[in-house]
Amino acid sequence: MKLFFLVLIFALSVGFSQAQTVKPYITKIKTKDGVIRGLLYKVDSASVIILADHNFSTVDISEIKSIKIRTPKKPYEIVQFVKYDPWSEDNFEKRTDGLKVRKWGEKDPTLGEEIGGHFYGTLFNVIGNIFAAPIHSINPSIANYKINGSLQKFAEQKAELNYFSVYYQSNLNIVAETNKIKAISAGFKP
């Protein structure tokens, strides 16, 4: 009996650990009045609901010109392009008598060489990060939808747009999705 409960607990813990996570998407909705930015929360047949500035905003379909979807980016982390460490273990080798000596008969760096190496290494890393940070901040859209207030265009793209919503991801109907995949794959020929 203990073995049965142990196996049951293990199976449940594995099942919960592999649960689908919800991935929020950044949404930029261009309307007749301006631009609204936030997280795409829900898509229904009459409106789009986004979470903007800790408030839910409902945007009517007739007001929407276009919708752009982006993924959230991780913050930029400083990269060390050049590493200057004259006292690293890689610069030494062990002789047969156990004494550590520099490889290839190199000499220890002087104080000026060591300061210069650290200075130029730091300078190169700073310049490299100055150029790399703006490149990292580029966040292209992964999906663009032109609605122009048309209910017909929105209805055609609603199913695809719905995949990006937090509500859809958290309330997934697995049976309906499996039936959709079966219907799509039934048309394929091997």
CATH number at residue 52: 2.30.30
The helix/strand/coil state of 4 is helix
The bridge status of strand 47-52 relative to strand 92-94 is unpaired
Same domain, 158 and 115: no
- Asked if the structure places residue 81 within a domain, the reply is no
Same domain, 46 and 131: no
How many angstroms separate the Cα of 127 from the Cα of each of 9, 123, 124, 164?
A: 54, 6, 5, 38
Angle at 159 between CA 146 and CA 166, to 5 degrees: 95
- Asked if the structure places residue 155 within a domain, the reply is yes
- How many C-beta atoms lie closer than 10 Å to residue 8's C-beta? 10
Q: How many domains does the chain have?
A: 2
Give the domain range for residue 108. Answer: 89-136
Same domain, 69 and 106: no
Two tokens at 45? 């047949």
157 vs 12, more confident: 157
* Predicted pLDDT at 123: 94
Same domain, 32 and 110: no
94: exposed, middle or buried (C-beta count within 10 Å: 0-12, 13-18, 19+)? exposed
> Hey, which residues does 28 pair with through a beta bridge?
37, 68
pLDDT tens column, 145-185 = 999 988 898 988 888 888 888 888 887 776 666 777 777 77
- Arithmetic mean of pLDDT over the chain: 82
pLDDT tens column, 105-116 = 677 778 888 899
Same domain, 41 and 117: no
Same domain, 26 and 117: no
* Predicted pLDDT at 53: 87
- Radius of gyration of the chain, Cα coordinates, nearest whole angstrom: 28
Same domain, 132 and 164: no
> Hey, which residues does 56 pair with through a beta bridge?
51
Same domain, 69 and 93: no
